[in-house]
Amino acid sequence: MRLKMEAFIKEKQKEIVAALEEVDGKKFTTDTWERKSSGGGGISCVLQGGNVFEKAGVNISVVYGKLPRSAVLKMRADHKNLDPTVESLDFFAAGLSMVLHPSNPMAPTVHLNYRYFETMNDDGSTQSWWFGGGTDLTPSYLFDEDAIHFHKTIKEACDGHDKRYYPAFKKWCDDYFYVKHRGESRGIGGIFFDDLDDKDPENLFSFVRDCLDAFLPSYLPIIEKRKNMPFTPEEKEWQQIRRGRYVEFNLVHDRGTAFGLNTPGARVESILMSLPLTARWQYMHAPAPGSKEDRLLNILKKPVEWV
């Protein structure tokens, strides 16, 4: 499964980057990095200041090495078969993660991440394993048809495997991407799951494959429709304020970001690639009651069932 997942995310990275270059008209720059202290590395593809994307990153990483005991104890909450007495534990992790911030305020930011995690016995055989990930949409201006299309595409990918997945993972996404101190969601959701090992690995790999395959069909029609829409300077400013909230979630609440930043030898530039190129914090900004901006805020306060 390690090799399969690695090969799959490499292939998907190329496919997604090629499709996004088609949309944008500019090329991504690619850099390959290696973990200094331990095993593995990654490939970061980034497009900054594009025609369509203000900042877009499509990263894969394949890392392995030894987890310290503190990390093992934390993971035991969800994986009871991990031995709490070990000093350290061999692990392997492979994932693709992506954040796209378009320039046009009518076009939504999208985030996606799928990963496979494994712990190993001393002889290199698999001990525990699981899949995690999801995808979610963050508009500054909400077009209901976009939200419906996005959720519908993901739901179909989920339903092909397990009818319980979409409702459960949609709720998990709403719960996870919640900017607690603002009392609002980061965006209009999608799906999120972690520690998924309820079926055999082949089965779940095929589920994750279908989720990743659903990305381009879920997002391309939206970005094509929105990327050239006219907008006012005030609408651009509202987008910048919403980008500030995105930064707040990622830096204050996102467990993945916190985990990354606290990992010695972590590649900070790849972790913070998720942050927008520009953001704004305006004291006591409040949209006019009944405006489009106000409607978005109200929807973010109470998740909607889009399909």
For a second copy, which is the closer residue by CB, 68 or 183?
183
For a second copy, which is the closer residue by CB, 3 or 284?
284
Minimum CB distance to a second copy, residue 27 (Å): 14
Minimum CB distance to a second copy, residue 25 (Å): 19
Nearest by Cα to 118 from 271, 31, 8, 2: 2
Minimum CB distance to a second copy, residue 31 (Å): 7
Which spans of this chain sit near a second copy (rule: CB under 8 A)? 31, 44, 46, 48, 55, 57, 180-182, 240, 244, 247-248, 251-252, 258, 261-262, 266, 268-269, 272-273, 275-284
Minimum CB distance to a second copy, residue 71 (Å): 17
For a second copy, which is the closer residue by CB, 230 or 264?
264
For a second copy, which is the closer residue by CB, 196 or 279?
279
The answer to whether residue 111 is catalytic is yes
Q: At what angle do helices 2-24 and 215-226 cross, to 10 degrees?
A: 10
Is 48 in contact with 282 (CB distance < 8 Å)?
no
Taking CA atoms, 65 is separated from 6, 91, 132, 176, 248, in Å, by 16, 6, 19, 28, 31
Q: How far apart are CA 52 and CA 107, in angstroms?
A: 9
Is 61 in contact with 93 (CB distance < 8 Å)?
yes
The full length of the chain comes to 307
Residue 134: which residues within 8 A CB-CB, separation 6 or more?
A: 112, 113, 114, 169, 172, 173, 190, 191, 192, 193
Which residue is catalytic, options 79, 101, 111, 161? 111
Catalytic residue list: 111
